């Protein structure tokens, strides 16, 4: 741990495909913020892991990289996995899931924030200012059964396959505790202060039980308005009335599905940032994958990775009490807003001409001319 003096050690995993293409400009932007703002510093350590590394060496996530990541102050990740490179049993290479499991990163935070001026799939003007958060449990649920499917009948022609969903009291309590606190933090910034538990409690007993734990815990947070919604209704309402949500919390598999829907509300995968947070470690990465269809062409939208870096700055600031990091987070977020504001910046994933460099340059321009800082300071 190096953060006592606000010198942060950051493990950087560029990974596969467009991973490095979005990570490189993001690291440059972080270096720029470090220089402009002061009060904190970064030491970036680049780590090799992922599908290509597996192909080259036979190992997807080297032990020493894992150890360094564990002892670093934060982990910044591009994307990992390539459909063309697989384990002998056909599974895709996904060391990001191992990081999540090994470091017990139980809270998958998926902010859904639309930027006025950025392309938006919904025509209702209220969709231009969405600002809600989906929290996905990331260590248990149905995903906990990964690699443990049980089959009935003959091995060459099974008659049934069974996967088990696991929800624990301890897992639920730490998730809800995190979620109530995040809702309080948002409420202090002017949001509604509602936390909605998304489940299927009308059909699955485990969800009914999980909902009971949520209700029990809500008594400890009287300033937060507790709410419930079934996952199917939630999918409908995320499209029909997404501006009604504040903070949502859900099981791993439901969260996996809803977070892609959430990314769709932001227009595309290149706009959706994420954080996977545990008690000690956290990984910050765009929601998208390695996008092999566009790799090596300078087309990747770096916005999601830049916004993930802003989430990292905020988490470091909150965790270590370093207000300069929080200021840097807000400045970067406002720089993204400003870059899209006049409607002329259209990334290629929306059919526009702006590739990785153009989008990065537009964000950097608002860091360089002080406009993002001015806005961050006036909104503080
Ligand atoms: P994974 O399963 O690894 O999450 P995926 O199968 O969901 O990956 P992605 O790699 O995220 O797929 O790509 C989905 C689509 O979105 C592809 O057409 C890809 O080109 C596009 N895409 C993803 N990320 C970006 C980005 N940053 N900029 C532009 N287009 C992107």
State pLDDT tens for residues 57-75: 999 999 999 999 999 999 9
Cα of 256 vs centre of ligand 1, distance in Å, is 15
pLDDT at residue number 1: 44
The answer to whether 299 and 356 have CB atoms below 8 angstroms apart is yes
Q: What is the pLDDT of residue 2?
A: 45
User: What would the pLDDT profile of 143-176 be if each residue is shown by its tens digit?
Assistant: 888 889 999 999 999 999 999 999 999 999 999 9
The pLDDT of residue 5 is: 60
* Interatomic CA distance for residues 329 and 96, integer angstroms: 24
Q: What is the mean pLDDT of residues 37-53?
A: 97
Mutation test of ligand 1: which of 269, 356, 357 has the most ligand atoms closer than 8 Å to its C-beta? 269
Residues with a CB atom less than 6 Å from ligand 1: 18, 22, 81, 269-270, 288-291, 293-294, 300-301, 304, 349
Helices (H), 149-190: 169-188
C-alpha 286 to ligand 1 mean position (Å): 10
Give the position, in ligand 1's atom list, of the atom nearest the Cα of 293.
20
Q: Whose CA is nearest to atom 4 of ligand 1?
A: 289
Output the average pLDDT for the chain.
Answer: 95
Does 252 score more than 50 pLDDT?
yes
Please tell me the distance between residue 58's alpha carbon and the centre of ligand 1 in angstroms.
25
For residue range 329-353, what is the model confidence (pLDDT) as tens digits?
999 999 999 999 999 999 999 999 9
% of the chain residues with pLDDT over 70: 99
Residue 372: φ, ψ to 5°: -70, -40
Per-residue pLDDT tens over the stretch 99-149: 999 999 999 999 999 999 998 889 999 999 999 999 999 999 998 888 899
Q: Can you tell me which residue has the tokens 């990541």?
A: 69
pLDDT of residue 379: 87
Section 256-282 average pLDDT: 94
Are the CB atoms for 213 and 197 separated by under 8 Å?
no
Question: What pLDDT, on a 0 to 100 scale, did the predictor assign at position 334?
Answer: 98
Could you identify the atom of ligand 1 that is nearest to the CA of residue 18? 27
Checking if the pLDDT of 369 tops 60, the result is yes
Q: In the Cβ-directed half-sphere of 371, how many Cα atoms lie within 13 Å?
A: 12
Instruction: Please state at what angle helix 19-37 crosses helix 356-368, rounded to 10 degrees.
Output: 10
What is the distance in A from the centroid of ligand 1 to the CA of 291? 4
Q: What is the mean pLDDT of residues 286-294?
A: 95
- Ligand 1 atom index nearest CA of 260: 7
| Test site for ligand 1: of 77, 118, 289, most ligand atoms within 8 A of the Cβ | 289
Q: Does the structure show a pLDDT above 70 at 4?
A: no
**Region 302-309: what's the mean pLDDT?**
98
Residue minimizing CA distance to atom 21 of ligand 1: 291
pLDDT of residue 207: 98
**Among 184, 188, 277, which Cα is nearest to 226's?**
184
Residue pLDDT, tens place only, 6-39: 899 999 999 999 999 999 999 999 999 999 999 9
Mean predicted confidence (pLDDT) in 355-369:
98
Output the CA 294–ligand 1 centroid distance in Å: 9
Mean pLDDT of 193-218: 98
- Measure 45 CA to ligand 1 centroid, in angstroms: 25
Strands lying side by side in the sheet with 7-15? 41-46, 7-15, 74-79, 282-286, 273-277, 107-113, 131-137, 247-250, 194-199, 225-230
For residue 319, the SS3 value is helix
The partner residues of 195 in beta bridges, in order of sequence, read 226, 247
Who wins on pLDDT, 207 or 147? 207
267 CA to centre of ligand 1 in angstroms: 12
Q: In the prediction, which pLDDT does 380 show?
A: 78
């Amino acid at each position: 741990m190096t953060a006592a003096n606000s010198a942060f050690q950051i493990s950087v995993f560029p990974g596969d495909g467009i991973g490095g293409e979005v990570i490189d400009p993001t690291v440059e932007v972080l270096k720029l913020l470090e220089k402009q703002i002061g009060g904190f510093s970064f030491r970036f350590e680049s780590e090799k892991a992922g599908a290509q590394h597996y192909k080259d060496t036979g190992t997807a996530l080297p032990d020493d990289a894992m150890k360094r990541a564990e002892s670093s102050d934060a982990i910044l990740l591009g994307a990992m996995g390539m459909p063309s490179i697989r384990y002998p049993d056909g599974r895709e290479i996904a060391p990001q899931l191992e990081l999540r499991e090994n470091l017990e990163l139980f809270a998958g935070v998926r902010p859904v924030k639309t930027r006025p001026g950025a392309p938006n799939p919904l025509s209702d003007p209220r969709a231009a200012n969405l600002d809600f958060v989906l929290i996905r449990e990331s260590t248990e649920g149905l995903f906990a059964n990964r690699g443990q499917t049980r089959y009935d009948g003959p091995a060459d022609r099974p008659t049934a396959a069974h996967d088990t969903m696991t929800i624990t009291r301890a897992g639920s309590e730490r998730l809800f505790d995190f979620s109530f606190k995040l809702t309080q933090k948002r409420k202090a910034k002017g949001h509604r202060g509602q936390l909605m538990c998304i489940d299927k409690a009308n059909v699955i007993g485990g969800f009914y039980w999980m909902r009971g734990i949520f209700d029990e815990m809500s008594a400890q947070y009287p300033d937060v308005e507790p709410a419930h919604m079934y996952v199917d209704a939630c999918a409908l309402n995320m499209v029909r009335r997404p501006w009604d949500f504040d903070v949502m919390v859900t099981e791993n598999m439901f969260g996996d599905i809803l977070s892609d829907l959430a990314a769709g509300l932001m227009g595309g995968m290149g706009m959706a940032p994420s954080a996977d947070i545990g008690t000690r470690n956290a990984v910050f990465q765009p929601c998208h994958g390695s996008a092999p269809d566009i790799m090596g062409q300078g087309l990747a939208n770096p916005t999601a990775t830049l916004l993930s870096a802003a989430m990292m700055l905020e988490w470091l600031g909150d965790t270590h009490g370093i207000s300069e990091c929080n200021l840097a987070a807000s400045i970067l977020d406002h720089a993204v807003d400003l870059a899209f504001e006049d409607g002329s910046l259209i990334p290629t994933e929306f059919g526009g001409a702006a590739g990785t460099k153009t989008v990065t340059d537009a964000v950097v321009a608002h860091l360089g001319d002080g406009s993002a800082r001015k806005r961050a300071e006036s909104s503080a």
